[in-house]
A and B are shown apart, each in its own frame.
Chain A
Amino acid sequence: MNESKGRFGIHGGQYIPETLMNAVIELEKAYEHYKNDPDFQRELSDLLNSYAGRPSLLYYAQKLTRTLGGAKIYLKREDLNHTGSHKINNVLGQALLAKKMGKTRLIAETGAGQHGVATATAAALLGMECVVFMGEEDTKRQALNVYRMKLLGSKVVPVTSGTATLKDAVSEAMREWTSRIDDTHYCLGSVMGPHPFPTIVRDFQAVISKEAREQILEYEGRLPDAVIACVGGGSNAIGSFYNFIGDESVRLIGCEAAGRGIDTFETAATVNTGRLGIFHGMKSYFCQDEYGQIAPVYSISAGLDYPGIGPEHAHLHDIGRAEYVPVTDDEAVEAFEFLSRTEGIIPAIESAHAVAYAMKLAPEMDKDKIIIVTISGRGDKDCAAIARYRGEDIYE
């Protein structure tokens, strides 16, 4: 009897080479053990609180709310975490787990560089070797993050295969893992890939909605009407949604990168333009052609520039529990500038996709309604690219 593990409805599974099967089985066993181990949980909480700066603020964006003239908007400030994004939540968990498993080396893929920087940081802190795979195209778009990773003691490998972006970085990290398993943990950055990664990463990111739920109950005495987050692979979104899934009254909205629009080929909006497939270890929705060749997706945001979506999101879409909406480059850049001006908060261009949708939705809602928008990361890394987008060359 064959048993396929890690399913979310029909999605998920473990579609990986035989060479890696015992590695993911070992990881699953270790995770099942340590997730119930009070010492591990205490160690992780200490790191999250004293090193990463949790809990993150839930900030009432009064000026943004007033300017838009509708629902009350709260921002979940993952941008204030150490290393500047939500990625650190997952990385500290996985790095600690890897260390308990006796691994001495971390490898990771990165798109915008946020997950790479977080992994390099954890490796530095915990005394582990670290190699980060990054699409060559992205090393140019995100040169500052490449330098940060090197400064933290990691090696950065530019990936030239395929489209030289995030999906190719994932492929290359998988290839590297098949060649060196004994001492190496693949610290996957999103809720994707083969089981148990989508579950492990979700559990480590669920701290976002655990805190947000407590915070909003404390501030408002009630649950929000909507939670909005950007979705590439979907780790900050699943983290933002998870503890609200059982609260039927809370709309869960994932914002996909539509690039130049979902009616063009230059898009990365997986749920809106993709179809069911099997890739990178999982069954889910993927942007692909009629023969199953993975599409060369596009978004201004290197972190959302991925042709798939995590299997749990695919399932939440199937059952209608979460909505996935497309947001274009133009809309995201406008939101990037708008939030900077109105609240003095420069969001990551990824997070700006979520802000952009909140700007559409809030004015349509009554003033007594409440929206939580997750600001998954800070936008310093994007300033040069956005300046270029606006036709201005700046020198760092």
Chain B
Amino acid sequence: MSKIKEAFAGGKAFIPFVTCGDPDLETTARLVREMAARGADLIELGIPFSDPTAEGPVIQGANIRALSGGVTTDKIFALVEELRRDVSIPLVFMTYANVVYSYGAERFISTCQRIGIDGLILPDLPFEEKDEFLPVCRKYGVDLISLIAPTSADRIAMIAKEAEGFIYIVSSLGVTGVRSEITTDISKLVSVIRENTDIPCAVGFGISTPEQAARMSQHADGVIVGSAIVRQIAELGKDSPAPVGEYVAKMKSAIS
């Protein structure tokens, strides 16, 4: 069993996202420990990119703050190494293809294995291009996470059949960001996925309230929350870990 599957073994999984280095790496470390302690089952660690084309304004802002603070891929690797002394839940990186490609796929992904990163989410790497990194990911036992969108339609079966780790269901059209309403029929997406694979699926994009999380978890195996957390970090900065921990606990209990 891949380590990622463990996150889904004890019921519905709550998956928070943070951008590493927003506002600084010390705060990121405290946030990760706090979220892990308060019920996060898996954490998505964002490596900032200068031009995050799949992100809405909230996470774009986090990327800019982190990069202007001088965060680099190497510093984030060091952060994860330090976190792995006591944080045992699965951790995945979420970043853009060029961050991995430019560092060197072999060098980047072998480092992931060494420091204890379990998976990689690259929103600008669709099914057709996954061979760019998949052979290296397999070599080092790092799951390359597949995304399925409301527009995937006839592509769902093909993607699901080859998916690894978990499937990231994009709840809505557009970019990341808090939404008051999610209109996509998630249960229908999930049922097509289920016909093709038994790996877990988690829903993300737009989820912020416990009610939304509870509704999404009726259909999916997990719920991913990014912008709603990043927004709190943007407001509270270094003081964000405790309130974000509270929020994670509340969200986790809403889906349990």
Contact = CB atoms under 8 A, between A and B. Distances in A.
B80 to A, nearest CB: 16
A286 B103 CA distance: 14
A5 interface: yes
Interface in A270-291: 275-281, 286, 288, 290-291
B149 A18 contact: yes
Nearest to B150: A19
A292 B102 contact: yes
A291 B72 contact: yes
Given A21-B155, A175-B174, A4 B129 contact: yes
A161 interface: yes
A16 interface: yes
A36 interface: no
B60 interface: yes
Contacts, number: 126
B170 interface: yes
B139 to A, nearest CB: 17
A181 interface: yes
Given A14-B128, A292-B102, A162 B151 contact: no
A21 B152 contact: yes
Interface in B100-133: 100-103, 123-132
Contacts of A162: 50-51
Contact of A174 (B53, B60, B73, B98): B53
Contact of B51 (A18, A168, A180, A276): A168
A171 B101 contact: no
Contacts of A292: 49, 73, 98-103
A190 to B, nearest CB: 16
Contacts of B37: none
Interface string A173-190: 011001111000000000
A262 interface: no
A13 interface: yes
Given A291-B72, A294-B50, A19 B170 contact: yes
Given A18-B127, A21-B126, A21-B127, A294 B173 contact: no
B151 A19 contact: yes
A22 to B, nearest CB: 5
B126 A18 contact: yes
Interface residues of A, number: 40
B51 A291 contact: no
A76 interface: no
A371 to B, nearest CB: 37
Contact of A161 (B60, B73, B128, B151): B60
A3 interface: yes
A171 B51 contact: yes
B202 to A, nearest CB: 15
A188 B1 CA distance: 44
Interface in A140-165: 161-162
Interface residues of B, number: 43
Nearest to A295: B50
Given A15-B124, A17-B149, A178-B175, A291 B170 contact: no
Interface string B147-166: 11111111100010000000
B73 A18 contact: no
Interface string A1-41: 01111000000011111111111000000000000000000
B27 to A, nearest CB: 21
Contacts of A50: none
A28 to B, nearest CB: 12
Contacts of A161: 57, 60
Contacts of B124: 15-17, 278, 281
B220 interface: no
Contact of B97 (A15, A20, A275, A291): A15
A14 B147 contact: no
B128 A179 contact: no
A167 interface: yes
A293 to B, nearest CB: 4
A316 to B, nearest CB: 22
B129 A178 contact: no
Nearest to B124: A15
Contacts of A277: 98, 101-102
Nearest to B173: A179
24 contacts: A2-B128, A2-B131, A15-B126, A15-B129, A17-B53, A17-B124, A18-B127, A18-B147, A18-B152, A19-B170, A20-B151, A21-B151, A22-B153, A161-B57, A174-B53, A175-B174, A181-B151, A276-B101, A277-B101, A281-B124, A291-B72, A291-B74, A292-B99, A292-B100
Interface of B: 49-51, 53-54, 56-57, 60, 67, 72-74, 97-103, 123-132, 147-155, 159, 170, 173-175
Given A20-B151, A181-B173, A290-B102, 7 more contacts: A14-B126, A17-B54, A174-B53, A175-B54, A179-B173, A292-B102, A293-B67
